[in-house]
């Protein structure tokens, strides 16, 4: 197939063509060989929950309308939706649990290679959680904070503590609807229980629990992951780095870290600076050691250390096919099993590092918090040794400069400075209409969609119409590859109002806010924007919308659902939303849920039309806030001014 149909990015096109010439297979080829994909599966109308099945209902013809147990199409689709949300929630939350375990081990002194890098953020979180900080060491505070964080997963009673960050009216809605999340594990377990054969068979009740489960992710596990990572590895600050396959170096040892948890990648970055390993690299003929990231690990590393990004999800196989990668170390999530096959075509050493994520035929080097640096040095050493085995390389020259690393704190700092850090200037500029509203562009890259095309087209369309874009995950990397994270280039594409504000503040109109778990930064930012005043009382009042048009993962669905249940409109691609087979489920997710939570789902595959949906929503919210009304300019007489001053 024509590589320009597979990717809008030239570097990826080059490597896709190169792989085609060599007869090497990638995700696009495997997708082609899966065609035609099951139409029942695409609509979410098949069920294999019990062994009376698998069952499927026929949404179009006169085939069966219920499964063997009698479950109808609404139940089947809603159960599939809930199970996907639960799986996505479990992924983010298990990531958070691993971070919390390392956090506690570091506080106890059992993880000597990790420490508290951001004591100010630790103190702030401790205050929020009611942990005493006076006359205590960082380690003592961290131990108690870490233990509270760990208890959020399995506590037998009480609500998720981070939900306190939400505006009061939002918490009241959750309470009224009975969806305030309890222990994270409990919500996931209950989701699986409810959706097993013969339990919850009311689609509305199943979808309500999907909200509760997703909220345990957004306002629970994922939010804790971002908080604890910031404290352990340092909160990101905006900084420059390079993005795309061109960051690989023809004369250095190239190491790629891929996955999600910074526990591995932070150590690999530090180990690559070890003088002894650098000297060994030089002895093998390399000029140095170059670490680059793929997927969310890439966002984590660039936002904290300026480590270059080689690419997003669909670039993982392409990076190896450059022939220039000595070693790829992976941890959890979004790691394709296909990597093993492509690595076998090259000299690349591929290593799995966590016990919960293994690949047959791939060497496993277990990473544990007690010996993290030792293991990281071993991995880097293996990469250095492997340099001599490198064959011909084919590194596309493309790379772009990006500014990455925006957080709730750093955005406020950029808007107001150190002593007046505040969202006030943002709120004022939304109220006066220079900025029409905010949009979140998040998520993955999917071979069913031309790589990076929808994320970047949507971003261009929104900034052109004066909407400030916040982005995370693989969408961020897509924007980075196409210079949308480069303030100089992106500002040329922005509408005049947005451009004026961004130039005054010194930011790009597309702000890179980190990895998938960092979507929770947007929830916190939204809550603080509400608290700042002038834009309503709740998240659902804000002129704000989200989109994920290249989703692949159940995690994306969990993220979408917690945004919706937090009061936000979320747009997914129609082809990538396999829950459309039930009219009642569609009616609830696209309309009814708005009455319950103020947010809703929409599906649209075309990024320009998706932008229209988001813009219409933003303008509706502005109308409701009364900030679109043109106020007549009134010239006051001296008499009238005196009255005003007195009152
Ligand atoms: Fe079929 Fe019902 Fe079993 Fe699902 S739970 S496989 S619909 S019998
Ligand atoms: S890595 S979940 S493909 S964003 Fe977070 Fe990218 Fe989606 Fe994985």
The domain that contains 509 carries what CATH number?
3.40.50.2030
Quickly list DSSP for 564-619.
HHTT-EEEE-GGG----S-HHHHHIIIIIHHHHHS-EEEE--SHHHHHHHHHHHHH
Residue 41 has pLDDT above 50, yes or no: yes
Integer angstrom CA distances of residue 143 from 102, 169, 171: 11, 33, 29
Check whether residue 527 and residue 385 sit in a common domain. no
Give every CB contact of residue 60 below 8 A, 6+ residues apart in sequence: none
Question: Any residues with CB less than 8 A from the CB of 296 and at least 6 apart, and which?
Answer: 259, 260, 333, 334, 473, 474, 515, 516, 517
- The reply to whether 302 and 356 lie within a common domain is yes
Å from CA of 341 to ligand 1 middle: 36
Q: Are residues 110 and 31 part of one domain?
A: no
Average pLDDT (567-584) is 98
Q: Is 20 exposed, middle or buried (0-12, 13-18, 19+ CB in 10 A)?
A: middle
Interval between CA 108 and ligand 2 midpoint (Å): 32
3-state secondary structure of 548: strand
Question: Does the beta carbon of 197 lie inside 6 Å of ligand 1?
Answer: yes
What whole-number distance in Å separates Cα of residue 561 and Cα of residue 238?
28
Residue range 517-544: mean pLDDT, rounded: 98
Tell me which of 629 and 433 has the higher pLDDT.
433
Q: How far is the CA of 43 from the centre of ligand 2 (A)?
A: 23
Q: How many residues does the chain have?
A: 647
Q: Which of 286, 295, 348 is nearest to 321 (CA)?
A: 348
Judge whether 432 lies within some domain.
yes
- Whether residue 87 is found in the same domain as residue 199: yes
Residue 141: which CATH number? 1.20.1270.30
Same domain, 148 and 269: no
Q: Which ligand is nearest to the CA of 53?
A: 1
State the closest ligand 1 atom to the C-alpha of 70, by its place in the atom list counted from 1. Answer: 2
- Give a yes or no: residue 267 inside a domain: yes
pLDDT for position 633: 58
Mean pLDDT score, 506-528: 97
Nearest CA to ligand 1 atom 5: 197
Q: Is the pLDDT assigned to residue 645 strictly greater than 80?
A: no
d(CA 311, CA 318): 9
pLDDT digits (tens, 9 = 90+) for 315-370: 999 999 999 999 999 999 999 999 999 999 999 999 999 999 999 999 999 999 99
Residue 487 resides in a domain? yes
Asked if residue 527 is part of any domain, the answer here is yes
Q: What is the mean pLDDT of residues 7-25?
A: 97
488 and 611: one domain? Answer: yes
Q: How far apart are CA 184 and CA 202, in angstroms?
A: 23
Q: Residue 202 Cα, ligand 1 centroid: separation in angstroms?
A: 15
- 255 and 222, same structural domain? no
Q: Are residues 229 and 249 in the same domain?
A: no
Q: Is 563 domain-assigned? A: no
Q: Tens digit of pLDDT for each residue in 109-118?
A: 999 999 999 9
Tell me the average pLDDT across 365-388: 96
Q: Residue 419: pLDDT band by 50, 70, 90 thresholds? A: confident
Query: Residue 43 C-alpha to ligand 1 middle, in angstroms?
Result: 16
162 located within any domain: yes
> Average pLDDT, stretch 122-148?
97
48 lines ligand 1 (CB under 6 A): yes
Looking at every residue in the chain, the average pLDDT score rounds to 96
Mutate to test the pocket of ligand 1, among 76, 80, 82, 83 (most ligand atoms within 8 A of CB): 76
Kindly indicate the confidence band of residue 61, based on its pLDDT and cuts at 50, 70 and 90.
Answer: confident
Count of domains observed in the chain: 4
Q: Are residues 330 and 381 in the same domain?
A: yes
CB 72 near ligand 1, within 6 Å: no
Residue 398 lies in a domain: no
- In a shared domain, residues 469 and 328: no
Same structural domain, 229 and 87? yes
Ligand 2 atom nearest residue 516's Cα: 5
By C-alpha distance, which of 204, 228, 247 is closest to 121?
228
- Which of 443, 144, 210, 200 lies closest to 313, judged by CA? 443
* Same domain assignment for residues 455 and 430: yes
In a domain, 64, yes or no: no
CA of 286 to the centre of ligand 1 (A): 59
Q: Where are the alpha helices (DSSP H) in 62-167?
A: 73-108, 119-129, 138-154
Domain that holds residue 117: 73-233
- As a whole number, mean pLDDT of residues 585-606 equals 98
Q: Are 479 and 9 in contact (CB under 8 A)?
A: no
What is the pLDDT, as a whole number, of residue 646? Answer: 46
Residue pair 625/533 in contact (Cβ under 8 Å)? The answer is: no
pLDDT digits (tens, 9 = 90+) for 464-515: 999 999 999 999 999 999 999 999 999 999 999 999 999 999 999 999 999 9
- Ligand 2 site: residues with CB under 6 angstroms? 260, 295-296, 312-313, 334, 443-444, 473-474, 515-516, 552-553, 555-556
Sorted by sequence, the CB contacts under 8 Å of residue 415 that are 6+ apart come out as: 421, 422, 423, 424, 425, 426, 505
């Amino acid at each position: 197939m024509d590589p320009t149909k597979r990717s809008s990015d030239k570097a990826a096109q080059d490597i896709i063509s190169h792989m085609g010439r060599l007869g090497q297979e990638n995700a696009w080829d495997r997708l082609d060989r899966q065609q035609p994909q099951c139409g029942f599966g695409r609509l979410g109308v098949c069920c294999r929950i019990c062994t009376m099945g698998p069952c499927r209902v026929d949404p179009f013809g006169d085939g069966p309308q219920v499964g063997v147990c009698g479950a109808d199409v609404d139940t089947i689709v809603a159960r599939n939706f809930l199970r996907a949300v639960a799986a996505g929630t479990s992924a983010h939350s298990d990531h958070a649990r691993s971070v919390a375990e390392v956090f506690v081990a570091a506080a106890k002194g059992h993880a000597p290679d990790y420490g508290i890098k951001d004591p100010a953020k630790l103190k702030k979180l401790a205050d929020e959680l009611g942990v005493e900080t006076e006359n205590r060491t960082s380690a003592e505070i961290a131990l108690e904070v870490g233990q509270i964080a760990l208890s959020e997963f399995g506590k037998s009673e009480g609500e998720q503590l981070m939900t306190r960050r939400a505006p009061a009216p939002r918490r009241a809605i959750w309470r009224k609807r009975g969806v305030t999340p309890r222990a994270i594990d409990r919500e996931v377990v209950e989701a699986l229980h409810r959706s097993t054969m013969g339990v919850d068979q009311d689609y509305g009740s199943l979808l309500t629990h999907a909200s509760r489960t997703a909220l345990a992710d957004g306002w629970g596990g994922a939010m804790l992951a971002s908080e604890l990572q910031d404290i352990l590895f340092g909160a990101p600050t905006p900084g420059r780095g390079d993005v795309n396959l061109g960051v690989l170096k023809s004369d250095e040892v190239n190491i790629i870290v891929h996955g999600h948890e910074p526990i591995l990648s932070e150590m690999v970055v530090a180990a690559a600076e070890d003088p002894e390993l650098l000297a060994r690299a030089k002895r093998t003929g390399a000029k140095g050691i170059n670490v680059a990231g793929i997927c969310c690990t890439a966002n984590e590393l660039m936002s904290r250390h300026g480590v270059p990004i080689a690419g997003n999800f669909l670039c993982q196989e392409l990076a190896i096919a450059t022939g220039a990668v000595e070693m790829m170390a992976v941890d959890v999530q979004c790691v394709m099993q296909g990597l093993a096959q492509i690595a076998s075509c090259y000299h690349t050493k591929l290593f799995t590092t966590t016990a919960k994520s293994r690949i047959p035929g791939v060497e496993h080097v277990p990473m544990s918090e007690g010996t993290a640096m030792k293991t990281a040095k071993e991995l880097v050493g293996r990469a250095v040794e492997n340099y001599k085995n490198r064959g011909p390389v084919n590194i596309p020259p493309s790379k772009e400069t990006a500014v990455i690393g925006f957080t709730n704190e750093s955005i406020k700092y950029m808007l107001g400075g150190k002593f007046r850090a505040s969202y006030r200037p943002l709120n004022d500029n939304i109220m006066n209409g220079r900025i029409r509203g905010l949009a979140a562009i998040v998520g993955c890259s999917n071979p069913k969609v031309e790589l990076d095309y929808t994320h970047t087209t949507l971003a261009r369309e929104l900034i052109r119409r004066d909407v400030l874009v916040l982005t995370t995950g693989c969408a961020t990397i897509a924007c980075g590859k196409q210079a949308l994270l480069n303030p100089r280039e992106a500002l040329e594409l922005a509408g005049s109002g947005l451009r004026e504000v961004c130039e005054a503040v010194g930011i790009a109109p597309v702000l890179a806010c980190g990895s998938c778990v960092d979507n929770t930064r947007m929830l916190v930012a939204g809550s603080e924007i509400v608290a700042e005043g002038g834009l309503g009382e709740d998240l659902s009042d804000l002129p704000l919308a989200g989109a994920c048009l290249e989703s692949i993962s159940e995690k994306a669905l969990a993220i979408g659902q917690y945004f919706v249940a937090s009061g936000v409109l979320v747009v997914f691609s129609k082809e990538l939303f396999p829950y459309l087979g039930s009219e009642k489920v569609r009616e609830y997710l696209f309309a009814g849920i708005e009455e319950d939570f103020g947010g809703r789902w929409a599906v649209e595959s075309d990024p320009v039309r998706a932008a229209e949906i988001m813009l219409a929503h933003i303008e509706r919210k502005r109308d409701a806030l009364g900030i679109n009304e043109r106020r007549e300019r009134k010239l006051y007489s001296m008499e009238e001014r005196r009255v005003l001053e007195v009152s």
